[in-house]
Amino acid sequence: MRFGTINYNGKPTAIMQGEDNKARLMADICKKSGIPPIHSILELIELEDKDILNQLSLSVSSVEPIEDSLLDWLPPVTKPSKILGVAFNNKELMKQAHFDPGVPNYFLKPPSALQGNGKPIRIDPS
């Protein structure tokens, strides 16, 4: 199963991809499964009943896919509170680049650093 977020009718909307690699609206899959609607990937992550994922996977192929031309991808979680990155996660690379600090180097990025799949990454020339 793959999950994502698209801009659908001007709103961030959760989607799920079936085995045929076609995206379907999460709300439609929930309706078909008889479960309360899931509006965002964050709601999906926070689910306490993990059996819901099984119900969704059983229903996904019975829902009409979204036309590929309508897929305007957004970051999966559209408003994260923070983004924590790891500068080096390969010990050999750390040893070659500089002295080995013995611990990973972490850095923060603002939520605005996220971009949807296939969208250009804009870099400030300065």
pLDDT of residue 90: 66
Q: What tokens does 36 get?
A: 């309360």
The three-class DSSP label of residue 24 is: strand
Please state the domain extents for the chain: 2-74, 80-126
Q: What predicted TM-score, i.e. pTM, was given to this entire model? A: 0.77
Look up residue 97 and give its two tokens.
Answer: 């680049």
Does residue 85 or residue 104 have the better pLDDT?
85
Give the model confidence (pLDDT) of 61-98 as tens digits: 999 999 988 889 999 998 888 899 887 666 666 667 66
How does residue 117 score in pLDDT terms, banded at 50, 70 and 90? confident
**Alpha-carbon separation of residue 102 from 84, 93, 94 (angstroms):** 19, 12, 9
